Amino acid sequence: MRSNIIAVRPAAALRRTRAGRSVHQATSLANKFIAVVVLVVVALRIDIDRGVTVGAVVCVALFPVWFPILRQFWGARLFLIGGLVAIGSGVWLTVLSAPTHDTSLGQAFGSIAGLIGLIAGVGFVLWARTVLPASQIAIWYGAGILLGVSPSSELYAENPWRFGYSVALTILLLGITMQLRRRWLELAVALALTVVATVTDARSAFAFMLLTVLLVAWQMRPTRTTRGKSALRALLGLGVLGLIVFNVIQALILDGALGEATQQRTVAQLNEAGSLILGGRPELAATIALMQHQPWGFGVGTVPNPEDILAAKTGMAAINYAPNNGYVDNYMFGGHIELHSVIGDFWAAFGIPGLVLALFILVLIVRSIGIHVAANTASAVLLYLGIKAVWFMFFGPFFSSSVLLVLVLGLLITRRVPTEKDAALQSPAPLRPTMVRRRR
């Protein structure tokens, strides 16, 4: 009898092991399914009301799922805390501004909901990285953005590629090349997208793609060792390369290489402000003027008063921009404050803590790019997203930038202890020549 019992025990243990393995596989499959569905829903940006989206609501509801993994990622918990502090600051500033300013409760709710949606979205993408390779996250997110393109918008009718499919297809196609892990394919697709940008009147997209192409090509060079490289040196090199690319592109535009319409618009902006950046983004001058006018910010939902608008217009007029137009009166200051930059919008709505949060986001993005470029492991999609996000921090409104910032921060925040899944965020390192001993 004893021998029979002993014989049965291994069989029972084997059945328990198989059952446990089946449960683990089912859980893993369910987690992947949830990740894919939520990623697509977040990217679709299905609006409920006042800036609240279905994706944001789902990510907030999944807080117990993604919150525990934040400790695995560098700066993730600090990002969450900074966001909550910024929201509190925004509400306090609104109360402080109430005696001299009107308040729009709808705008206040939208600003708070937008920041909460960003925090929750980033948290979910970080969790998704524990169940999906980063390449698949980019692919599904790009597919969601593509499904959300609206052909009925006025800007779409003006330029379907630039205002419709450009970002979505770039993320999707570069995500596929990251999945295939072929450097030459990354370079070929990035080159093709650069060519498309040259014929679609998209100056910024052309710059982003050209810089991406150069950085991918740079990482394909043969190297014997990466010893001695640092993220700081890589970032300094990126800064120099960015300045070179900017000046080259400006020269190409002025020579008519990107089309007559782009050339005429650029010449007009240079003649107007003396700088392509200031001429193309006069909101920067308004932001600087408002920061001097009221350094502590305004608060969520605070409506600018005539003194605020005058200060902003005075700053814009100083660069020879004519501010008395519908864009300034309606889009920028029509019952709200819109400064067309994430940094500016965060400062206006959330005050100094909002400005600090925006700068911290910038550090998270730039730090990750520097680390990967220094190691020659930055994929094309990582580079494109990082470069575009840095641009948005200075020259893109938070409302339209937030859907991309969710993906950018979710993919670029580095893990404290890298795992095998993190390798999917990288392209294969360039082949390094090896020393072969000759036979004598």
Q: From CA 13, how far away is CA 81, in angstroms rounded?
A: 46
Flag whether pLDDT at 235 surpasses 60: yes
User: What would you measure as the largest C-alpha separation in the chain, in angstroms?
Assistant: 99
The pLDDT of 156-180, averaged and rounded, is 89
Return the CA Rg of the chain. Answer: 25
Flag whether pLDDT at 186 surpasses 50: yes
For residue 295, what are the contacts with CB-CB under 8 A and spacing of at least 6? none
pTM, rounded to two decimals: 0.84
Determine phi and psi for 92, rounding to 5 degrees: -65, -40
Check: CB of residue 170 under 8 Å from CB of residue 417.
no
Flag whether pLDDT at 6 surpasses 50: no
Among the listed residues 237, 193, 230, 247, the one whose alpha carbon sits nearest the alpha carbon of residue 215 = 237
Q: What is the pLDDT of residues 220-229, one digit of tens each?
A: 877 655 444 5
Flag whether pLDDT at 431 surpasses 60: no
pLDDT at residue number 18 = 62
Percent share of the chain, pLDDT over 90: 57
pLDDT at residue number 288 = 95
Q: From CA 207, how far away is CA 198, in angstroms rounded?
A: 10
Check: CB of residue 341 under 8 Å from CB of residue 396.
yes
Flag whether pLDDT at 426 surpasses 60: no
Q: What is the pLDDT of residues 17-30, one digit of tens each?
A: 665 566 668 788 99
Flag whether pLDDT at 390 surpasses 60: yes
Q: What is the pLDDT of residues 358-382, one digit of tens each?
A: 999 999 999 898 888 888 888 999 9
Flag whether pLDDT at 274 surpasses 50: yes
For CA atoms 70, 170, 195, 256, the dihedral sign is: negative
Mean pLDDT of the chain: 84
Q: Give the chain as a 3 state SS string.
A: CHHHHHHHHHHHHHHHHHHHHHHHHHHHHHHHHHHHHHHHHHHHCCEEECCEEHHHHHHHHCHHHHHHHHHHECCHHHHHHHHHHHHHHHHHHHHHHCCCCCECHHHHHHHHHHHHHHHHHHHHHHHHCCCCCHHHHHHHHHHHHHHCCCCCCHHHHHCHHHHHHHHHHHHHHHHHHHHHCCHHHHHHHHHHHHHHHHCCCCHHHHHHHHHHHHHHHHHCCCCCCCCCCCHHHHHHHHHHHHHHHHHHHHHHHHCCCCCHHHHHHHHHHHHHHCCHHHHHCCHHHHHHHHHHHCCCCCCCCECCCHHHHHHHHHHHHCCCCCCCCHHHHHHHCCCCCCCCCHHHHHHHHHHHHHHHHHHHHHHHHHHHHHHHHHCCCECHHHHHHHHHHHHHHHHCCHHHHHHHHHHHHHHHCCECCCCHHHHHHECCCCCCCCCCCCCC
Q: From CA 12, how far away is CA 10, in angstroms rounded?
A: 5
pLDDT at residue number 360 = 96
